[in-house]
A and B are shown apart, each in its own frame.
Chain A
């Protein structure tokens, strides 16, 4: 991309997190994972619609962007995730 001419602007974007803003602020409830119950089946990771469940020795939630939709809690086969009211 040559930017020599300062009047030239192009309608392009770069892949990045947070294109919709700090979506963690949308939450009313947030998922809390009970590590003792978790069997690491990764169903929550598979279906999370925001890529905010990450796998690292088990699973953890990226609360910066998690919208609190509750899909993870709903698909967990052992009910290791509960949706808890945000303080």
Chain B
């Protein structure tokens, strides 16, 4: 056990997974991942080849080039970098070559803002990547290690990304149990992939597929994501035997949910603050519990429905937004549950910090509205005093 940050935990996971090639490009707040990897390489701790490319698009391309040629490959990015490599993330998913990426989430410009927001990560939802979101550095390490095994399972064969809140998790140091190399070697078999580019038996990847065949390929990705649920539970349960501390036998995590009338749904590091708020609200008599989403893709209709279908009302708090509609978790949940009493709150964008008091405020307001049958729609929440902050930039510029 060591006191390390999320970034360092991820770098250690990359080493333990015996990754072969890492394509890297710096961007706040992921930079200390690649710095740690370079440091480990320089002092002989890490065997991987590090390719210090010229852009994030190139980072994904170099990672992919190594992966399709048969070695385990990894990259990491955030915000602008993730958007810049968007073309390549789709290319990798379409190729069905397993690759693992970590995203230290951060707000997206314009304008510049380097602090935490999950919109960058969520914008990859349609691509075909598996997506998991950590809520503490331990989970960041655990999910990264599991990602190698899940993505390389023959029932899946899809790339997987693990997100963690930028700065909040990437830089925050906590106790992390680090599995030994032997334990990881037992857990992670040698790399498997659906095909390899080898001159002995040449195959081509990616030349033109006619319409029906292309659609069947896309359908295959869809099916693979659906089938990945059982793989994730299997792998999670095996992984639990190593560190033994977290509950990886389910995709998502309940907290005091089963006996609660009202449910709060969210993902990420602020689940910790939300849980503290819920503890205090329960002492005050509110029947409320938390459902923490850990896997965005696959989206487990089964787990989610069974956990939430009997709740009187559901509140979804998003640290991201689909402009003009609401938070992505809210939109996804609404299409799964069709609860009339479901409302969404968008907050925490651009690094706005919510504390336990904010969560108590949000949740109590929600319960009040729910009691009146009015828990609907999407609202944006600013912490105390936030609404009074004036945007001092000019609204228009005079000639």
- A–B contact (CB under 8 angstroms): yes
Chain A residues within 8 Å of B, Cβ to Cβ:
1-2, 4-5, 7-15, 19
Report the Cα distance A14→B216, complex, angstroms: 18
Question: Chain B 193-212 against A: per-residue CB contact (8 Å), 1 yes, 0 no?
Answer: 01100000011111101000
Q: Is the CB of B94 within 8 A of A11?
A: yes
Query: Nearest-CB distance from B363 to chain A (Å)?
Result: 41
Q: B207: which A residues are within 8 A, CB to CB?
A: 13, 19
Top 10 nearest A-B pairs (CB, nearest first) are A7-B223, A9-B220, A13-B204, A12-B203, A10-B194, A10-B96, A2-B154, A12-B205, A9-B217, A13-B207
Query: Nearest-CB distance from A68 to chain B (Å)?
Result: 24
Report the Cα distance A8→B219, complex, angstroms: 9
Report the Cα distance A29→B393, complex, angstroms: 71
Query: Nearest-CB distance from B201 to chain A (Å)?
Result: 9
Q: Is the CB of A11 within 8 A of B157?
A: no
Report the Cα distance A10→B95, complex, angstroms: 7
A-B contact pairs, 7 of them (CB 8 A): A8-B220, A10-B157, A10-B194, A10-B220, A11-B95, A11-B205, A12-B204
Nearest chain A residue, comparing its CB with the CB of B214? A11
Report the Cα distance A1→B193, complex, angstroms: 8
Query: Nearest-CB distance from A2 to chain B (Å)?
Result: 5
Q: A19: which B residues are within 8 A, CB to CB?
A: 207
Report the Cα distance A12→B157, complex, angstroms: 14
Report the Cα distance A8→B153, complex, angstroms: 12
Instruction: Choose among A1, A2, A8, A14 the residue that contacts B224 (Cβ–Cβ < 8 A).
Output: A8
Known: A11-B96, A13-B203. 6 other contacts (CB 8 A): A7-B220, A8-B194, A8-B224, A11-B94, A13-B204, A14-B204
Total contacting residues, chain B, CB less than 8 A: 22
Q: Is B155 an interface residue, CB under 8 A from the partner?
A: yes
Nearest chain B residue, comparing its CB with the CB of A9? B220
Report the Cα distance A57→B83, complex, angstroms: 59
Q: Is the CB of B202 within 8 A of A11?
A: no
Q: Is B227 an interface residue, CB under 8 A from the partner?
A: yes
Q: Is the CB of A10 within 8 A of B204?
A: no
Chain B 125-143 residues near chain A, CB threshold 8 A? none
Q: A11: which B residues are within 8 A, CB to CB?
A: 94-96, 205-206, 209, 217
Report the Cα distance A2→B220, complex, angstroms: 15
Q: B195: which A residues are within 8 A, CB to CB?
A: 1, 10, 12
Question: Chain B 280-305 against A: per-residue CB contact (8 Å), 1 yes, 0 no?
Answer: 00000000000000000000000000
Known: A1-B194, A1-B195. A8 touches B157 (CB 8 A): yes
Report the Cα distance A2→B157, complex, angstroms: 11
Query: Nearest-CB distance from A14 to chain B (Å)?
Result: 6
Nearest chain B residue, comparing its CB with the CB of A14? B203
Q: B223: which A residues are within 8 A, CB to CB?
A: 7-8
Known: A8-B194, A10-B194, A10-B195. A15 touches B202 (CB 8 A): yes
Q: Is the CB of A7 within 8 A of B227?
A: yes
Q: B202: which A residues are within 8 A, CB to CB?
A: 14-15
Q: A1: which B residues are within 8 A, CB to CB?
A: 194-195
Report the Cα distance A13→B217, complex, angstroms: 13
